[in-house]
Chains A and B, each alone.
Chain A
Amino acid sequence: MSCSRRDFLKEAMGGTLASVMPLSAFVLLSPEEAKAAIDGSKVRWAFLVDTQKCTGCGLCVKACKTENEIPYDAPVTRTWVERYVITKDGETHIDSPLGGRDGYIDDKIRDEEIDPKNIDKAFFVPKLCNQCDNPPCVQVCPVGATYQTNDGVVLIDRNWCIGCGYCIMACPYGVRFFHPEQKVADKCNFCYHRITKGMQPACVECCSFGARRLANLEDPDDPVTKIITTERVAVLKDEYGTKPHVFYLGLDFNVR
């Protein structure tokens, strides 16, 4: 068998190319998969909180705890409502007993009586997971138990979480907590089981005043998306660069 130098180089080149080509390059995509790969996700969940409308009834917290099977009397909650009372002497009084689960029916704050005449302004601020675009809680997970879905919601894999608590430390908004029964990290996921069925999150459904609303930022016709894109909305702790996706209308600078 004879082999010229030219043939040898040709064959060797082809063989090298064939060997470095990964097998995955030959996977055939169905038309749906190909379309999905090009278009990406057509859903990006976000949230709009109108602090001007919140009355501090706490029914959202009650509904959330029931819907998501969070122990009712444990001092942990996926969403909570904070009360801010700013008095004329410049003091800011903040409280959130049990996350506002039982509503605010007493004007005492931390057993302190405040004369209504001394109040400059008082308001309620609901808080929940911001479903950040750069979630620090996901970055720190050592086992890949928490992640961002393609529609922007950050989820926790309860079978995979080892309960180390890094994510609870990493979240600048303090929305993560240790689930006392599941023994894993837990947090709000916009009621993922509801929104993926076309329902509203439990807190949105139970809010009588329209203070909480869900939006799909990828849908320009979504009325809530229109508010977020056209009106003056604020986010919490913008300086952390987490790109939070819970937007607030009427947010006061005293809110941290």
Chain B
Amino acid sequence: MKWHVLRPLWVAIGLVAAILVARLFLVPDDFGIHGRNFTYGFYRLSNVQEWKDFPVKYQGRETCVECHEENVQSLNNSPHAAVECENCHGPGVNHPDVVELLPIDTTRELCLRCHASLGYPHSAREQAPQISNRMHKRRRECSECHNPHKPQGDET
């Protein structure tokens, strides 16, 4: 082959070799086909574990009951039994070690999420007791009169 053809050929081969060497160092060892095929399963395997290690924030009622048995009992016997503790009290992560007191959401807007009447026929919304946001005790906090743990009794 003539010299002027060979010279750029060496440059091209060198480039390809450089890319291959760089790839060897940059691509993690566990990168490859781990799923069912190349199209859907070509990935870095350790990433699955990284997602599994993502911190859990919402602990669930089973964790709350370990210390707050009385409160959970009163909630379980009320029409609010289906409402998760953490919906109002916030996620229990790091409680009580770091976050000593969970911030309780006592705003009217929280109650209205389920109890504001929208006037929709056949909507599941109507199962819960409904109020008209504009008519019923405007700008007052619901918890001033209603106990969220005993919404039907012991009203002050």
A residues contacting B by CB (< 8 A) are: 52-59, 63, 66-68, 85, 102-107, 116, 119, 121-124, 135, 138-139, 144-150, 155, 157-160, 189, 192-194, 196-197, 199-200, 202, 205-206, 208-211
Contacts and interface: CB of A to CB of B under 8 A. Distances in A.
Contacts, number: 149
A208 B83 contact: yes
B145 interface: no
Contact of B120 (A59, A119, A138): A119
Interface stretch (B3-11, B12-20, B125-133, B146-154): B125-133
A167 to B, nearest CB: 13
Most chain B CB atoms below 10 A, which of A107, A124, A158 = A107
Contacts of B84: 205-206, 208
Contact of A205 (B34, B58, B121, B124): B58
25 contacts: A56-B113, A59-B113, A63-B58, A66-B58, A66-B91, A67-B57, A102-B109, A103-B116, A116-B120, A122-B121, A123-B122, A124-B124, A139-B39, A144-B43, A146-B43, A147-B34, A157-B44, A160-B44, A192-B52, A193-B51, A193-B52, A197-B56, A202-B57, A205-B58, A208-B114
Interface of A is mostly: loop
Contacts of A158: 47, 50
A95 to B, nearest CB: 12
